[in-house]
Homo-oligomer: A and B are copies of this chain.
Amino acid sequence: MDWSDLRIFLAIAREGTLGAAARKIGQTQPTMGRRLRALETSLGQTLFQRTADGLVLTDEGAAVLRHAERIEDEALALERHVSGAETQLDGLLRLSSSDWFGTVMLSPVIAAFGKRHPKVTVELLTDARLYSLPRREADLVFRIKPFSEPEVISRKLLHIPYALYGKKGSKPPRAGDGSAVRVVTMNAEFADMPDAVWLKRALPNAAIASRSNNRQVQAELCASGDGFAVLPRPLGDRDRRLVALDIGTAPPGRDTYVGYHRDLRRLARLRALLDIVIERLAG
C-alpha cells in the first residue's frame, strides 16, 4: 500500500468525484482514477461504488476513511511540529571551547541566549581535547586553530589581544633580562604557543615559577604573587588584583574561530545561538 494513495483516497471521499478531487489536489482526473484503482488493488477491496452521482463509499471504503483521517491528523501534527520548531526552539546544543574563553567570553552569551530561548539546553565543554564535529561530539566549536575540514562551516570570530600582567602594585620587569624575575607560563605541551614564546624572549632569564594549561589558573597564580603572566586581556582586565604592565613590547594576540558541521546549518537553535555569539563577540 502506497501511503500517498491514501491522501488521494481522502480527497475523492470528500469531494465525491474524481474531477473535483483532482482540482483540489492539483492533479488530473485520470491520475485520481488510476491511483484509486491502485489502492483498491493493493488492499484487495472495492472502496467506492461508481454511480452516476459520483463515487459512493462502500462499507470497506468507510472503514478505510476513518483510518486515513487519523493518518492525516498525525501528518498534520508532524507538519505543525516541524514548522513550530522555527519559532519555539528546544533541544540541546553542545559547545566546545577553551576554559577561560568559555568562562569569560561565552558564559554571558549563553546566559543571554538562555533568556531568549529557555527551552534550549546548552552544554559547554571546556577541556583541552578537540571535539569532533563529524562525530557529533560537539555542535559548535570555538578554538584558535582554524578549521580546515571541508564539512565544517567556520568563520573567524574575533581577535583576542594578550598582555603581560603582574600582581596589582608590581613594577614592570626590565625587557630583555628577567633576572630575579619569576613567571607563570604555559605547560610544556603548549610551550610553543606565541605568547609563551614571546615571554621567553622578553624575559630570557626569568625563572619559571609555575606552569599550567589553564589560563585562569595562571591568572590566579599571578594575582597571588607567584609571578608575571601573559594573559588574554579579557581575562586579565576583569581581575582587580591584576595589572597590565608595559615593558615596551607587547605579546601577540590570537584569533578565535567558530565552526559547526554543515549538516547542522539549518538547525534553528544553532543558528540562533550563533547570531547572538556574533552579535556579542564579533561586533
Contact = CB atoms under 8 A, between A and B. Distances in A.
A109 B48 CA distance: 28
A134 B51 CA distance: 6
B6 A46 contact: no
Nearest to A91: B59
A34 to B, nearest CB: 16
Given A51-B136, A56-B136, A91-B59, A67 B45 contact: no
A45 B82 contact: yes
B74 A71 contact: yes
Given A59-B92, A78-B64, A266 B45 contact: yes
A104 interface: no
A177 interface: no
B51 A135 contact: yes
A279 interface: no
A3 B71 contact: yes
A44 interface: yes
Interface string A55-83: 01011100110011011001101110111
Contacts of A64: 78, 81-82
Contacts of A4: 2-4
B78 A44 contact: no
A182 interface: no
A264 B136 contact: no
Interface in A64-123: 64, 67-68, 70-71, 74-75, 77-79, 81-83, 85-86, 90-92
A85 B64 CA distance: 11
A83 to B, nearest CB: 8
Nearest to A80: B67
Contacts of A90: 59
Which of A2, A45, A56 neighbours the largest number of chain B CB atoms within 10 Å of its CB? A45
B267 A60 contact: yes
Contacts of A6: 3, 75, 78
A79 B263 contact: no
A1 B3 CA distance: 12
Nearest to A4: B4
A75 B1 contact: yes
A6 B49 CA distance: 30
Given A1-B79, A64-B82, A67-B81, 5 more contacts: A3-B4, A44-B82, A58-B264, A70-B74, A71-B78
25 contacts: A1-B78, A3-B4, A3-B7, A3-B71, A4-B4, A43-B82, A44-B86, A46-B264, A46-B265, A49-B136, A51-B136, A52-B134, A56-B136, A58-B264, A58-B267, A59-B92, A59-B267, A60-B82, A60-B85, A60-B267, A67-B74, A67-B75, A68-B78, A70-B74, A71-B71
